[in-house]
Structure 1
């Protein structure tokens, strides 16, 4: 099969290159026009509206926005005489002198435009345009974290919980508009993670290093096909200034326990060389309280009541590093590398009491289990990238090579005491211990090619290979006759090997007010799951993933679009491991080696009014839906994953920013969704359940006397997810910040969940289940964060885009 795939894509690429050459010969000469927009102090004006005008009659030819360094570019400009006009909130407009684009010229640089402060300058303080916290773009929603008060001192996971339409459940599973199966990327770098692995990575990523979070609900064929509910892309801050500069951040927080964090970022840019490094460290300790009530019925109708209470504090110490360089071999050719990694440690101490009787509150017997789990995580990752602009018309080729290795280790001690109704010991305690080292190796390589075939047609093509191998070795012992001996019932070694070959084609056609993009991605997967001593489970399959996007601009204030894509979710590596992990003798989790991938058809319609108000309607249908289940077997309750027959989802989302006055602005995001699950063979029974739910989130930002004050509130109504009935969730966060010393020094103070009301409660009364889980995490956290920016602030006019910005690969951790 791999030879068939190879031949298909070789043929497609040959046809593409032939068509490209032919069409390129038919395209007339054109030039690139670029320049810079600065304010009265010579500092960049980002996100200014820049227009290219015909000099003879001021007709608008093209429009653009200046970027973070105030630079703008117009491609494929014909010969003629032109003007540049720039406008931005808080500034007077600026218009250039007429300039000419001569026949045959390739690049015209417009003299720097200076925009003096407008009438909004008050007492020496200039109110400039800043990006809103929530920003809606054509194909994604962006949460601009960099200037948010609430981001200071938070980890990436805590920031993600506040993103529009995003929820995080009791096990750190991330959902988007009610659906699980989210793919998380960092700097466009794909990360395939189990919930536990993803939580480790995000909880050790300092929020002060994050620039923005992008939410892409219907990705194109260019992206990996994994993730039925879309992609969340976390963009880290990137240097845009010449010279040497950086920042130091220190912070502290108090909830039930103290926390601290600090980070150092240094950048150096001179000529063609850009060097950057970041170091961060922190200590997080979190509380986690769980109450679990279960009612177990036997075949005669007799009931046994289990009342379980667990105090589960956890602590995490992290040390992260990132070092990289970009070098411009020529103005069109950039190479770069990034070295990153971490050395982290964590400890979970669980104190669990279970009371067993014929009714709640009356004990016939009880047991008390304590566990002490100590973990270490080490990671090293290397990325090499090469980005080549083949011409001035937008033809580009980029290549990325990635290698990552994770070495994780966990040592756990479990001690269970058994008691009679009168409190006396029933028998000797059960003492267990585990050592579970694991090694994860990841290799990826990819190449992406983009070619404008004509002025209105663009082709994108790419290939990718990835190889992932995980080796989990669980060594278990039980205390017996005064010594620990090997526990053959629990000891196991699970090795999982997965290889994916992929390729894609995207074709984009632009009309005057209408655009169409169609794409096709192919992915061939080969995997082997081997529980040593058992028969390996092997799979090999080829899938095709089409996508289509249509966008229509009705007029200046109304725009509609439609998108479709097919997606896949492969089972998590831990979910495939069929062995059993105990919480106590009556509660455990078990993997399922026979899980199959799930496939989703996604449809979405969007309407945008005045570039701000967005309404979307979505529908998706998933087959072989991978769903977490809690099942009952005798008096034991265990957690596992199974394939349900189908999952059906509908959603409607409304997102709108608003400005009440110059000092009061905000954003409202409202989502209503339906999730329905169906299976004819769930635990030998038919299952069909679903429910409409609602989620609302609003952010208010107030600016006064140099202070920035933010309040965020969110509410999620009761909902059904698989066999679970999830209770409502709600909370209010707030924060304030102030800058000093010409914005070099910043102080931010905030409080998460100020009323301490955010919970994760759920229940289930289906397929022989009858249980209720009440959970309270450490959610009310008071933070104080100090940031100092230092170094040269001179702006480098010539800009380039690093190949590291487009790196894609696969990252793994463990928890």
Structure 2
């Protein structure tokens, strides 16, 4: 309180002095001014509205400042004679410092002329891409996609952004894979989220594209990261600011298949910063259909043939809300806190679900069903982080904490009609409420070594406590109005708890050798203990503890003209998540039943990578090759039960190899027209390691995908964008998943000095539907299914920014927890959150 009174007194004193200074003295004098102009070094254009701040030489005391006009010109007044340092900054540019500015008197002008500012993309140490508003940046252990420079995603969500990122593939359902593997870890601002933990697909749909600043594809994570993710880590960086002032942004979009609305506000005054936002997205009337044919050889050598077909529809509502606060205790100590809430309500319908059973070619049964599946959840993430920096540049200590909780309510009702298909015979209901809790504490140290601090030593420790709970039960009801009766069989009615404790320590070292070489070795050790238990069983599931060493090595060399070549090796561990562990039996389709396995062990993968990036005449090209070897791979085990029912379980029986390449290019044809695209290709080799001819399986083949999009700038702030993506057949252990293609086009107009944007977009506007054909082939099962999706969409997007922010000259260091150690899987697997 005393400090507050002192501050008020100082402001009153300054105000009084100002009033006194305005009194006439009998002579008019012109105060001293520092005059300058901000220019873009690359283009020569003025940097409009750049922020200039004046400091006393040798101190961090900011005594005056100004904002440049539309021509980049600025002038600063209010300083006494002396020697000063000026710092010029603007979003997207490196801060430019002009030293030894001498002010000799209280009157007169000091003209420092034009100050050339450098784009951040050109100033980073290992950037290989050059040019205006480039999309791709290469570093020793990652590729960074600068989403904020890509306007083709306006009005979309995180799924639309990731479809444009090199080395990533996103299917029509939003399932993400990297180099053909869905075993990846997705982080948001460097930390896990309860939303992403429950469903990566749904998490991406909850993040507005306009709020994503960049996407980091970390194909070779260092020892600092959790050892999870066969393919690597995706870090989605949202737009944060170190700005002074207040601002708000509203955006909305509506279309035939979905609508969204978002409002975000931020404020910063002195040492405090606040952010508050909310975003909602609704999808409706997403129509489709499927048909399925499965031929099963029964144990008595009879042949059962099953034909199924249904019309499908999906509706959903997502919401994401956040509140963030950061506080600069003093020059070297910072606190940040954040609370994020998420909701997800999804409902899937299968109507006219007809099943026909044939035995040796003769029709033995017709069954008509309707299935209503619900997937509802709410989540919360609470974080509190402390960072301490030092006089020595780059040195810091951080203590990071995170609490996450996700409550889910999954259920389905399967309604069976009588033989005449006009009245309800019975109803089968499954309820599966579940809860996932996670508490993490992490301590990190960063120590620059040597006089210039070019070598960096990183070390730290981390502990993750997880608690998962699933309460599942089945109910049966007769007729349309009969009461549900609970099934008391422990197989169908039980409570499952799963506690996991992961303790880890790591050491990583980064050094620059012979000027152009960078080496980054590291070692990590993780020790895992697990307890699992069923309510109705007398003893817990026996799961032994295990410890794992995880080495990593990243190398890079900068060549002439900014080219970069890099190589890496790392070992990864993939612990099964509750998608594979949950013992709840999913029989929403009674002829295709699946169940998780609580006794699964982790997978282990060795990754090798070689990459090269170059540019010439406005064109950037990046090549990479990789080899991946996985042992103990979690694979589906399919067996035939009575009446031709296919039961799917999971076990650590697989061996999986993949060798492939990725080629990405970004072409600036002119300052108005640009194209970029990529091709991903790999050869997959899978084997489940079984010798029994009934269950032994192996498969191999090529998987190829590609993408291309372009941007053209028209006069008067109009822009046109086009995008297309295609993926070929995907090889699986027992069959394949069909390929698909998608495309879109958009046009938008900026107005009100680029504070507002309005646009039109169209997705898949030439095709009424997409067909995806899948097959499963085993010695006893042949299954062919076709899923049809009708996702043609037309949309209108609008956004507008209110308020004005200026650049803060002392950016706050923000760090957060990252948990990357669970195998989430893609679209398959027995799931705690079933029936996506």
Distance in structure 1 (CA, Å) of the matches to 2:572 and 2:340:
30
Distance in structure 2 (CA, Å) of the matches to 1:86 and 1:630:
64
Task: Classify the secondary structure of the residue corresponding to 1:449.
Answer: strand
The answer to whether the 8 Å contact 1:586/1:637 transfers is yes
1:701-743, Cα deviation, whole Å (9 max, x unpaired): 1111122212122222223122122223222222122100100
User: Which aligned pairs between 1:451-490 and structure 2 lie closer than 5 A?
Assistant: 451-454=447-450, 455=452, 456-479=454-477, 482-489=482-489, 490=492
Distance in structure 2 (CA, Å) of the matches to 1:229 and 1:192:
21
Give 1:803's aligned residue: 815
Return 705-714 or 404-413, whichever deviates more: 404-413
Return 483-492 or 500-509, whichever deviates more: 483-492
1:52-104, Cα deviation, whole Å (9 max, x unpaired): xxxxxxxxxxxxxxxxxx9xxxxxxxxxxxx999999x99x99986759xxxx
704, 707, 712: which one aligns with 1:702: 712
Task: Classify the secondary structure of the residue corresponding to 1:581.
Answer: coil
Distance in structure 2 (CA, Å) of the matches to 1:94 and 1:564:
35
User: Which aligned pairs between 1:274-423 and structure 2 lie closer than 5 A?
Assistant: 274-285=273-284, 286-299=286-299, 301-351=301-351, 352-357=353-358, 363-419=363-419, 423=420
Distance in structure 2 (CA, Å) of the matches to 1:651 and 1:192:
32
Give 1:663's aligned residue: 672
The answer to whether the 8 Å contact 1:245/1:792 transfers is yes
Shift of 1:528: 2.0
Matched, 1:516 2:519: yes
The answer to whether the 8 Å contact 2:634/2:654 transfers is no
Q: Compared with structure 1, are the counterparts of its residues 233 and 760 closer, same or farther at alpha carbon in structure 2 (3 Å cutoff)? A: farther
Distance in structure 2 (CA, Å) of the matches to 1:163 and 1:641:
31
Matched, 1:159 2:161: yes
Give 1:252's aligned residue: 254
The answer to whether the 8 Å contact 1:405/1:439 transfers is yes
Give 1:43's aligned residue: 49
Q: Compared with structure 1, are the counterparts of its residues 403 and 226 closer, same or farther at alpha carbon in structure 2 (3 Å cutoff)? A: same
Q: Compared with structure 1, are the counterparts of its residues 297 and 486 closer, same or farther at alpha carbon in structure 2 (3 Å cutoff)? A: same
Specify the structure having the higher radius of gyration (Cα).
2
1:369-409, Cα deviation, whole Å (9 max, x unpaired): 21223443222221001111123232111111111222222
Shift of 1:301: 4.3
Q: Compared with structure 1, are the counterparts of its residues 116 and 457 closer, same or farther at alpha carbon in structure 2 (3 Å cutoff)? A: closer
Q: Compared with structure 1, are the counterparts of its residues 663 and 85 closer, same or farther at alpha carbon in structure 2 (3 Å cutoff)? A: farther
Shift of 1:659: 1.5
Distance in structure 2 (CA, Å) of the matches to 1:755 and 1:400:
50
Task: Classify the secondary structure of the residue corresponding to 2:210.
Answer: helix
Task: Classify the secondary structure of the residue corresponding to 2:696.
Answer: strand
Shift of 1:560: 1.5
State TM-score, norm by structure 2: 0.79
Shift of 1:338: 0.3
The answer to whether the 8 Å contact 2:227/2:820 transfers is no
Matched, 1:772 2:784: yes
State TM-score, norm by structure 1: 0.81
Q: Compared with structure 1, are the counterparts of its residues 300 and 442 closer, same or farther at alpha carbon in structure 2 (3 Å cutoff)? A: closer
Task: Classify the secondary structure of the residue corresponding to 1:341.
Answer: strand
Shift of 1:333: 1.6
Matched, 1:594 2:599: yes
Task: Classify the secondary structure of the residue corresponding to 1:686.
Answer: coil
Return 743-752 or 242-251, whichever deviates more: 743-752
Shift of 1:307: 1.4
Give 1:526's aligned residue: 529
Give 2:432's aligned residue: 436
Give 1:271's aligned residue: 270
Return 261-270 or 729-738, whichever deviates more: 729-738
Q: Which runs of 5+ in 1 are unaligned?
A: 1-34, 47-69, 71-82, 101-109, 119-127
Q: Compared with structure 1, are the counterparts of its residues 667 and 317 closer, same or farther at alpha carbon in structure 2 (3 Å cutoff)? A: same
The answer to whether the 8 Å contact 2:38/2:48 transfers is no
Task: Classify the secondary structure of the residue corresponding to 1:201.
Answer: helix
Matched, 1:724 2:735: yes
Distance in structure 2 (CA, Å) of the matches to 1:529 and 1:112:
70
Shift of 1:236: 1.2
Distance in structure 1 (CA, Å) of the matches to 2:201 and 2:329:
39
1:390-430, Cα deviation, whole Å (9 max, x unpaired): 232321111111112222223432211253xxx578x9823
The answer to whether the 8 Å contact 2:227/2:821 transfers is no
Shift of 1:40: 3.8
Q: Compared with structure 1, are the counterparts of its residues 461 and 618 closer, same or farther at alpha carbon in structure 2 (3 Å cutoff)? A: same
The count of aligned residue pairs is 720
Shift of 1:673: 0.3
